[in-house]
């Protein structure tokens, strides 16, 4: 207990440990025991059902239960921290399905759930919260439940695209990778008729740190106004969901590599060698749109010898731009929150509806 600290977004009991796990306190019955049974069934050593074995890869690993010695009546699920491997995790929780109440819900509960988001039936998903790393300001934007509930069919695409916006560019690379992940989950749902999921979520995580990922593909820099339900938090290190904080030797390596790319890029710029630069772009990034966006970033660099301020700006832009030349993005999409999973003998059409609609909204973002 001592080593756990409260999770960034959830004051209701998610605790995070530096060993790479989170603890979720069991909710009161029937929800908590239902979720525990679900995890036991899927991760139990006696489980040989291929449907459940397949499902494992879309869930956080379940590492059993945990009870603090000081509170022997409390029970927690010990789960893999999905955000652990990310330096600057951008996180979004999206509730999936047409209904966020289960078949056992009372009339009162049904009314309460519908009134929270009457569009759930039509839209099939609801953004519960987001936390987005802003490269340009080195801070996080957070979006709470009010933000998601304010989204309508008309504003859904823009609303969701905030999750992929780093303050100056839309991370189309992360959008595309997220689509692929959701499609894998959809495939599992198309092939199973054993379980129905109500009020369950997909947890999206992608790497916001520009050192690790392809960035800013295809969108012109633009500033975004802060809508209802959003908040900008301060300096990054404190607000990093991930316990890992870059140590000094890591940051020296980053500085060195930035310095290197800065001098390379600056030399290229002076020679007007945009073509030479583009030829360094890996094949999978090579298309007209991506080339255009590299040029957009390069045009931020002023000609001639830069002054001190310009060098700082230049470094930022180049970190941003040169990162487009690296690996495909790290993106993880996992199913979480299983307090309302029920046995079934049909496909979970309402969850599938939500997944398909979500995929189509994400695809539309790529078309802009």
Ligand X SMILES: Nc1ncnc2c1ncn2[C@@H]1O[C@H](COP(=O)(O)OP(=O)(O)OP(=O)(O)O)[C@@H](O)[C@H]1O
Question: Which residues lie near ligand X (CB under 6 A)?
Answer: 7, 9-10, 12, 14, 22, 24, 60, 79-83, 91, 93, 129, 201, 203, 336-337
Q: Does residue 337 interact with Mg ion by CB under 5 A?
A: yes
**Closest CB to Mg ion among residues 15, 258:** 15
CB of 24 to ligand X, least distance (A): 6
**Closest CB to Mg ion among residues 52, 197:** 197
**Closest CB to Mg ion among residues 128, 217:** 128
CB of 288 to ligand X, least distance (A): 37
**Cβ atoms of residues 198 and 30 within 8 Å:** no
**Closest CB to Mg ion among residues 6, 226:** 6
Residue 81 contact partner, candidates ligand X, Mg ion, none, CB within 5 to 8 A by sort of partner: ligand X
Residue 166 contact partner, candidates ligand X, Mg ion, none, CB within 5 to 8 A by sort of partner: none
Give the closest residue to 74 by CA, choosing from 8, 21, 23. Answer: 23
**Closest CB to Mg ion among residues 55, 126:** 126
**Closest CB to ligand X among residues 219, 337:** 337
CB of 105 to ligand X, least distance (A): 15
CA distances 2 to 8, 21, 241, 255, 300, Å, are 17, 14, 18, 35, 48
The stretch near Mg ion (CB under 5 A) out of 227-235, 236-244, 299-307, 329-337 is 329-337
CB of 70 to ligand X, least distance (A): 21
- Cα–Cα distance measured from residue 87 to residue 135, given in angstroms and rounded to the nearest whole number: 12
Tell me, rounded to whole angstroms, the distance of Cα 329 from its chain centroid. Answer: 12
CB of 192 to ligand X, least distance (A): 21
**Angle (CA) 164 91 239, round 5°:** 110
CB of 10 to Mg ion, least distance (A): 8
**Closest CB to ligand X among residues 148, 216:** 148
Cβ neighbors of 304 (< 8 A, separation 6 or more) are none
**Closest CB to ligand X among residues 7, 99:** 7
CB of 337 to Mg ion, least distance (A): 4
How many Cα atoms are found within 13 Å in the side-chain-facing hemisphere of 190?
A: 8
- For residues 6, 26, 126, 329, the Cα torsion angle rounded to the nearest 10 degrees is 60
**Angle (CA) 174 63 140, round 5°:** 35
CA distances 254 to 38, 258, 262, 263, Å, are 43, 6, 12, 14
Measured from each CB, the residue nearest to Mg ion is: 337
Pairing of strands 89-96, 125-134: antiparallel
Give long-range contacts, CB 8 A cutoff, 24+ apart: 313-319. Answer: 314/262, 314/266, 315/258, 315/262, 316/135, 316/136, 318/258, 318/261, 318/262, 318/265, 319/210, 319/211, 319/258, 319/261
CB of 25 to Mg ion, least distance (A): 12
Residue 24 contact partner, candidates ligand X, Mg ion, none, CB within 5 to 8 A by sort of partner: ligand X
**Closest CB to ligand X among residues 77, 318:** 77
Buried-state track 163-181, b at ≥16 Cβ within 10 A, e below 16: bbbbbbbbbbbbbbbbbeb
The stretch near Mg ion (CB under 5 A) out of 9-17, 50-58, 96-104, 336-344 is 336-344
Q: Does residue 35 interact with Mg ion by CB under 5 A?
A: no
Residue 264 contact partner, candidates ligand X, Mg ion, none, CB within 5 to 8 A by sort of partner: none
- Cα–Cα distance measured from residue 96 to residue 293, given in angstroms and rounded to the nearest whole number: 33
Residues 165-204 binding Mg ion (CB under 5 A) are none
Encoded one letter per residue, x for contact with Mg ion by CB under 5 A and - for no contact, window 215-254 reads ----------------------------------------
Burial, 183: exposed, middle or buried (Cβ in 10 Å; 0-12, 13-18, 19+)?
middle
Residues that bind Mg ion (CB under 5 A): 337
């Amino acid at each position: 207990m001592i080593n756990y600290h409260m999770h960034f977004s959830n004051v209701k009991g998610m605790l995070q440990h530096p060993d790479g796990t989170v603890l979720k306190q069991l909710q009161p019955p029937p929800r908590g025991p239902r979720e525990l049974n679900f995890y036991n069934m899927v991760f139990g050593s006696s489980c040989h059902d291929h449907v459940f074995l397949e499902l494992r890869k879309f869930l956080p690993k379940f590492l059993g239960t945990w009870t603090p010695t000081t509170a022997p009546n409390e029970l927690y699920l010990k789960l893999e921290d999905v955000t652990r491997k990310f330096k600057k995790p951008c996180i979004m929780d999206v509730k999936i399905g047409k209904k966020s109440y289960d078949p056992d819900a009372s009339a009162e509960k049904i009314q309460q759930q519908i009134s929270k988001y009457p569009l759930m039936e039509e839209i099939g998903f609801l953004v519960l919260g987001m936390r987005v790393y802003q490269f340009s300001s080195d801070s996080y934007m957070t979006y709470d439940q009010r933000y998601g509930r304010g989204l309508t069919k008309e504003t859904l695409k823009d609303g969701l695209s905030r999750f992929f916006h780093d303050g100056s560019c839309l991370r189309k690379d992360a959008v595309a990778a997220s689509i692929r992940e959701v499609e894998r989950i959809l495939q599992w749902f198309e092939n199973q008729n054993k379980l129905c999921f109500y009020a369950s979520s997909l947890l999206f995580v992608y790497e916001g740190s520009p050192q690790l990922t392809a960035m800013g593909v295809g969108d012109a820099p633009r500033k975004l106004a802060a809508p209802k339900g959003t908040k900008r938090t301060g300096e990054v290190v404190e607000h990093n969901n991930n316990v890992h904080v870059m140590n000094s030797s890591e940051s020296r390596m980053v500085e060195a590599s930035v310095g290197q790319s800065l001098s390379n890029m600056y030399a290229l710029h002076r020679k007007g060698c945009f073509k030479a630069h583009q030829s360094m772009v890996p094949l999978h990034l090579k298309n007209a749109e991506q080339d255009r966006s590299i040029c957009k970033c390069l045009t931020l660099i002023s000609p001639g010898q830069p002054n001190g301020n310009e060098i700082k700006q230049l470094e930022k832009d180049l970190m941003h731009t040169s990162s487009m030349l690296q690996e495909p993005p790290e993106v993880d999409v996992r199913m979480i929150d299983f307090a309302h999973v029920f046995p079934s003998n049909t496909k979970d059409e309402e969850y599938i509806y939500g997944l398909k609609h979500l995929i189509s909204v994400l695809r539309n973002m790529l078309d802009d």
